[in-house]
Homo-oligomer: A and B are copies of this chain.
């Protein structure tokens, strides 16, 4: 009996063939590691996956031959010295004539080298057709993402109980990561953001030696990986009591967050979710919201779809997206509130688990 992963990756490959091959292609070269993992199960850091109409080949260098053979059950593994040469030989061996490639991932240099090495083969750039390849999650993926989110949320909850005024941003980030790793996280899904006081106004603040002090907002944006799948969640805590202006701002962001989550469901456009957040924030706060409302999450922490004003994406059941309104006053302070949700026909399901009510650290 095939193991669970084997079954799922096979279904994913069939799906790609059905949707993308048509009369147009007889193969696709995959060179992004997240797509390779998605379609083969291989978890290494370098390689190429060649999908033919009936057959497939996983190409790796000598570091990964043994690992690839054990992870990509049922797929023939080839070892290369020179990657592009390996691709050319495998394309020839499978008799492929018209082969797609990931236009957003293949560099100009790689493309030009492949053209030289594969005379007679037509290379077809694939763009938008591929961008949503992993956007709709299968049952296995949803379960892994729930687990990743649970590990991270439980770590955040424990951190909220332990942390104290006087900790540095760096200590805070490290403690949070330590708790999550002990609980089974493989690694963080992105560099942990801890932005206190004026650092909170930098949406991607790196933790520093600044100490948390009375009156601060502390923006903590944290995610972990579990079997390759990412979580993503942001809490903004406060150190001690707040001014009325800060309380009002927090309430405004929380309202934008809550209304967007109530709105999300299959069939809504990503741009409409974003527009709702902006209108809920209103003129007073909206102009300090300097990024998009959210993004897909999966094997990568940022993937399709994109929830932003100019996005053309439409939400589908099975997508996993973040909803993360924020406001940022340069040089002063910032707030962001983020959850990751699983899109359903009639609404959405929270994967992340922290309450977003304001938590006061004392």
Contact = CB atoms under 8 A, between A and B. Distances in A.
Interface in A179-234: 181-182, 186-188, 191, 201-206
B44 A204 contact: yes
B202 A66 contact: yes
A117 B284 CA distance: 35
Nearest to A198: B66
A67 B310 CA distance: 24
A243 interface: no
A61 B181 contact: no
B291 A63 contact: yes
A109 interface: yes
Interface string A92-132: 00000000010111111111100000000000010100000
A167 interface: no
A191 B187 contact: yes
Interface string A56-100: 000001111111000000000000011000000000000000000
Interface residues of A, number: 46
Contacts of A109: 103-104, 125, 127
Nearest to A225: B191
B81 A108 contact: no
A73 to B, nearest CB: 16
A242 interface: no
20 contacts: A43-B206, A62-B290, A63-B203, A66-B202, A66-B328, A66-B330, A67-B202, A67-B204, A81-B310, A101-B108, A103-B107, A104-B110, A105-B107, A106-B107, A108-B108, A108-B111, A109-B125, A178-B178, A186-B191, A187-B191
